[in-house]
Protein backbone atom coordinates (compact mmCIF):
# COMPACT_ATOMS: atom_id res chain seq x y z
CA UNK A 1 0.00 0.00 0.00
CA UNK A 2 1.32 3.44 -0.93
CA UNK A 3 2.18 5.62 2.07
CA UNK A 4 2.50 9.36 1.46
CA UNK A 5 4.08 11.66 4.04
CA UNK A 6 4.24 15.43 4.01
CA UNK A 7 6.58 17.28 6.33
CA UNK A 8 6.19 19.75 7.90
CA UNK A 9 2.50 19.66 8.78
CA UNK A 10 2.47 23.45 9.07
CA UNK A 11 4.72 26.28 7.99
CA UNK A 12 4.67 30.04 8.60
CA UNK A 13 6.89 32.40 6.62
CA UNK A 14 7.14 36.14 5.99
CA UNK A 15 6.00 37.46 2.65
CA UNK A 16 8.68 37.25 -0.02
CA UNK A 17 10.38 34.16 1.34
CA UNK A 18 10.65 31.06 -0.86
CA UNK A 19 8.60 28.04 0.22
CA UNK A 20 9.83 24.45 0.09
CA UNK A 21 7.24 21.73 0.69
CA UNK A 22 8.23 18.08 0.89
CA UNK A 23 6.41 14.90 -0.03
CA UNK A 24 7.78 11.39 0.40
CA UNK A 25 6.29 8.09 -0.74
CA UNK A 26 7.05 4.42 -0.27
CA UNK A 27 6.18 2.85 -3.64
CA UNK A 28 8.05 4.23 -6.66
CA UNK A 29 5.81 2.39 -9.14
CA UNK A 30 3.68 5.44 -9.76
CA UNK A 31 1.74 6.68 -12.78
CA UNK A 32 1.95 10.37 -11.94
CA UNK A 33 2.19 12.80 -9.04
CA UNK A 34 -0.01 15.82 -8.50
CA UNK A 35 0.26 18.79 -6.18
CA UNK A 36 -3.00 20.36 -5.05
CA UNK A 37 -3.96 23.46 -3.12
CA UNK A 38 -6.94 23.52 -0.73
CA UNK A 39 -8.39 26.72 0.70
CA UNK A 40 -10.55 26.52 3.85
CA UNK A 41 -14.03 25.18 3.09
CA UNK A 42 -13.17 24.54 -0.53
CA UNK A 43 -12.29 21.64 -2.74
CA UNK A 44 -8.84 20.92 -4.14
CA UNK A 45 -7.28 22.81 -7.02
CA UNK A 46 -4.65 21.05 -9.10
CA UNK A 47 -1.40 23.02 -9.31
CA UNK A 48 1.02 20.76 -11.13
CA UNK A 49 1.02 17.23 -12.52
CA UNK A 50 4.28 15.35 -13.09
CA UNK A 51 4.18 12.21 -15.21
CA UNK A 52 6.22 9.25 -14.02
CA UNK A 53 8.74 9.78 -16.83
CA UNK A 54 9.28 13.45 -15.96
CA UNK A 55 11.60 15.01 -13.41
CA UNK A 56 9.91 18.37 -12.90
CA UNK A 57 7.13 20.73 -13.90
CA UNK A 58 6.93 24.50 -13.69
CA UNK A 59 4.05 26.95 -13.68
CA UNK A 60 4.74 30.59 -12.90
CA UNK A 61 6.23 30.83 -9.42
CA UNK A 62 5.67 27.11 -8.81
CA UNK A 63 8.14 24.34 -9.54
CA UNK A 64 7.71 20.70 -8.59
CA UNK A 65 10.36 18.02 -8.82
CA UNK A 66 10.04 14.25 -8.75
CA UNK A 67 12.74 11.77 -7.73
CA UNK A 68 11.29 8.28 -7.86
CA UNK A 69 14.52 6.60 -6.81
CA UNK A 70 14.48 8.36 -3.46
CA UNK A 71 10.69 8.45 -3.20
CA UNK A 72 10.50 12.23 -2.95
CA UNK A 73 8.82 15.22 -4.51
CA UNK A 74 9.36 18.85 -3.64
CA UNK A 75 7.13 21.83 -4.38
CA UNK A 76 8.92 25.18 -4.55
CA UNK A 77 6.97 28.43 -4.40
CA UNK A 78 9.09 31.46 -5.16
CA UNK A 79 8.60 34.86 -3.56
CA UNK A 80 5.63 33.84 -1.43
CA UNK A 81 2.59 36.10 -1.09
CA UNK A 82 -0.21 36.19 1.51
CA UNK A 83 -2.51 34.75 -1.17
CA UNK A 84 -0.38 31.59 -1.15
CA UNK A 85 -1.71 30.78 2.33
CA UNK A 86 -3.49 27.43 2.01
CA UNK A 87 -3.02 23.71 2.57
CA UNK A 88 -0.90 21.98 -0.05
CA UNK A 89 -1.38 18.27 -0.71
CA UNK A 90 0.58 15.86 -2.85
CA UNK A 91 -1.07 12.82 -4.35
CA UNK A 92 0.38 9.83 -6.14
CA UNK A 93 -1.44 7.86 -8.75
CA UNK A 94 -1.07 4.18 -9.41
CA UNK A 95 -3.14 4.00 -12.59
CA UNK A 96 -6.25 5.90 -11.55
CA UNK A 97 -6.42 5.72 -7.76
CA UNK A 98 -4.73 8.60 -5.92
CA UNK A 99 -3.08 8.28 -2.53
CA UNK A 100 -2.93 11.61 -0.71
CA UNK A 101 -0.63 12.99 1.90
CA UNK A 102 -2.13 14.78 4.91
CA UNK A 103 -0.94 18.14 3.59
CA UNK A 104 1.20 21.07 4.69
CA UNK A 105 -0.69 24.14 5.90
CA UNK A 106 1.14 27.29 4.83
CA UNK A 107 0.70 30.75 6.31
CA UNK A 108 2.41 33.66 4.59
CA UNK A 109 2.61 36.68 6.89
CA UNK A 110 2.29 40.13 5.35
CA UNK B 1 -16.43 26.63 -18.31
CA UNK B 2 -18.39 25.20 -15.40
CA UNK B 3 -16.49 23.18 -12.87
CA UNK B 4 -17.56 20.20 -10.79
CA UNK B 5 -20.74 21.00 -8.89
CA UNK B 6 -21.78 19.27 -5.65
CA UNK B 7 -25.01 19.57 -3.74
CA UNK B 8 -25.94 20.20 -1.06
CA UNK B 9 -22.94 22.14 0.21
CA UNK B 10 -23.93 21.33 3.78
CA UNK B 11 -26.14 18.61 5.19
CA UNK B 12 -27.10 18.02 8.79
CA UNK B 13 -28.94 14.78 9.48
CA UNK B 14 -29.99 12.71 12.43
CA UNK B 15 -28.29 9.43 13.15
CA UNK B 16 -30.08 6.60 11.38
CA UNK B 17 -31.41 8.68 8.49
CA UNK B 18 -30.42 8.15 4.87
CA UNK B 19 -28.69 10.88 2.85
CA UNK B 20 -28.00 11.44 -0.83
CA UNK B 21 -25.11 13.54 -2.08
CA UNK B 22 -25.01 14.71 -5.69
CA UNK B 23 -22.14 15.41 -8.05
CA UNK B 24 -22.30 17.04 -11.49
CA UNK B 25 -18.94 16.48 -13.19
CA UNK B 26 -17.40 18.61 -15.90
CA UNK B 27 -19.09 17.87 -19.20
CA UNK B 28 -17.21 15.27 -21.20
CA UNK B 29 -15.14 13.97 -18.31
CA UNK B 30 -15.28 10.20 -18.37
CA UNK B 31 -13.76 9.55 -14.95
CA UNK B 32 -15.52 10.41 -11.70
CA UNK B 33 -14.26 9.92 -8.16
CA UNK B 34 -15.67 10.21 -4.66
CA UNK B 35 -13.32 10.94 -1.76
CA UNK B 36 -13.97 11.54 1.92
CA UNK B 37 -12.04 14.02 4.05
CA UNK B 38 -12.45 13.71 7.79
CA UNK B 39 -11.19 16.29 10.29
CA UNK B 40 -7.46 15.88 10.69
CA UNK B 41 -7.37 13.01 8.19
CA UNK B 42 -6.11 12.75 4.67
CA UNK B 43 -8.37 12.14 1.72
CA UNK B 44 -9.83 8.66 1.65
CA UNK B 45 -10.75 7.08 -1.69
CA UNK B 46 -14.33 5.81 -1.84
CA UNK B 47 -15.30 4.91 -5.41
CA UNK B 48 -14.23 5.41 -9.04
CA UNK B 49 -16.31 5.41 -12.23
CA UNK B 50 -14.78 5.27 -15.70
CA UNK B 51 -17.06 5.38 -18.70
CA UNK B 52 -19.22 2.28 -18.94
CA UNK B 53 -16.81 0.09 -17.02
CA UNK B 54 -17.74 -1.50 -13.72
CA UNK B 55 -16.93 0.96 -10.92
CA UNK B 56 -14.12 0.38 -8.44
CA UNK B 57 -16.00 0.29 -5.13
CA UNK B 58 -13.05 -0.95 -3.09
CA UNK B 59 -12.92 2.19 -0.90
CA UNK B 60 -16.52 2.14 0.33
CA UNK B 61 -16.23 1.68 4.11
CA UNK B 62 -19.37 -0.40 4.60
CA UNK B 63 -22.42 -1.74 2.80
CA UNK B 64 -24.33 1.30 4.03
CA UNK B 65 -22.52 3.27 1.32
CA UNK B 66 -23.46 3.03 -2.34
CA UNK B 67 -23.01 5.16 -5.44
CA UNK B 68 -24.30 5.28 -8.94
CA UNK B 69 -23.57 7.26 -12.04
CA UNK B 70 -26.40 7.73 -14.46
CA UNK B 71 -25.83 8.20 -18.18
CA UNK B 72 -22.10 8.59 -17.64
CA UNK B 73 -22.66 11.99 -16.05
CA UNK B 74 -24.31 12.84 -12.71
CA UNK B 75 -23.37 10.70 -9.72
CA UNK B 76 -25.17 10.15 -6.42
CA UNK B 77 -23.52 8.87 -3.26
CA UNK B 78 -26.02 7.38 -0.84
CA UNK B 79 -25.36 6.67 2.82
CA UNK B 80 -28.01 4.60 4.58
CA UNK B 81 -28.63 4.58 8.32
CA UNK B 82 -26.05 7.30 8.92
CA UNK B 83 -23.71 7.07 11.89
CA UNK B 84 -21.79 9.83 13.64
CA UNK B 85 -18.52 8.53 12.22
CA UNK B 86 -19.88 9.30 8.75
CA UNK B 87 -19.51 13.01 9.51
CA UNK B 88 -16.96 14.36 7.03
CA UNK B 89 -16.56 16.37 3.85
CA UNK B 90 -17.42 14.30 0.80
CA UNK B 91 -15.52 15.43 -2.29
CA UNK B 92 -16.27 14.58 -5.88
CA UNK B 93 -13.75 14.93 -8.71
CA UNK B 94 -13.80 14.33 -12.43
CA UNK B 95 -11.10 14.00 -15.05
CA UNK B 96 -10.26 13.01 -18.57
CA UNK B 97 -8.39 9.71 -18.82
CA UNK B 98 -7.31 9.75 -15.16
CA UNK B 99 -5.13 12.81 -15.55
CA UNK B 100 -5.60 16.13 -13.76
CA UNK B 101 -8.43 15.85 -11.28
CA UNK B 102 -10.94 18.68 -10.93
CA UNK B 103 -12.63 18.75 -7.55
CA UNK B 104 -15.92 20.19 -6.45
CA UNK B 105 -16.23 22.19 -3.23
CA UNK B 106 -17.58 19.20 -1.39
CA UNK B 107 -20.58 18.41 0.79
CA UNK B 108 -20.04 18.82 4.52
CA UNK B 109 -22.07 16.11 6.24
CA UNK B 110 -22.82 16.35 9.94
CA UNK B 111 -24.60 13.47 11.64
CA UNK B 112 -26.10 14.40 15.00
pLDDT at B9: 96
CB of B43 less than 8 A from some CB of A: yes
Q: How confident is the model at residue A15 (pLDDT cuts 50, 70, 90)?
A: very high
The answer to whether the beta carbons of residues A64 and A50 sit under 8 Å apart is yes
E-assigned strand segments in A1-71: 4-7, 10-14, 19-25, 32-38, 44-51, 56-59, 62-67
Distance from CA of B80 to the nearest CA of A (A): 24
Contact check, Cβ <8 Å, B48/A96: yes
Please report the number of interchain residue pairs, chain A to chain B, with beta-carbon separation below 8 angstroms: 52
Arithmetic mean of pLDDT, B71-79: 93
The lowest-confidence range among A33-37, B8-12, B36-40, B94-98 is B94-98
The three-state secondary structure class of A84 is: helix
B93 has a chain A CB within 8 A of its CB: yes
Amino acid sequence: KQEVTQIPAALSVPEGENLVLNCSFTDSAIYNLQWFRQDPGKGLTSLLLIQSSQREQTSGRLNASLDKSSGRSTLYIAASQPGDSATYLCALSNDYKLSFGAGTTVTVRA
Amino acid sequence: GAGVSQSPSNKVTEKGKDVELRCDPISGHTALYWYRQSLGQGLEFLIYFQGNSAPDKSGLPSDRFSAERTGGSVSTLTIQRTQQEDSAVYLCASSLASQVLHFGNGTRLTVT
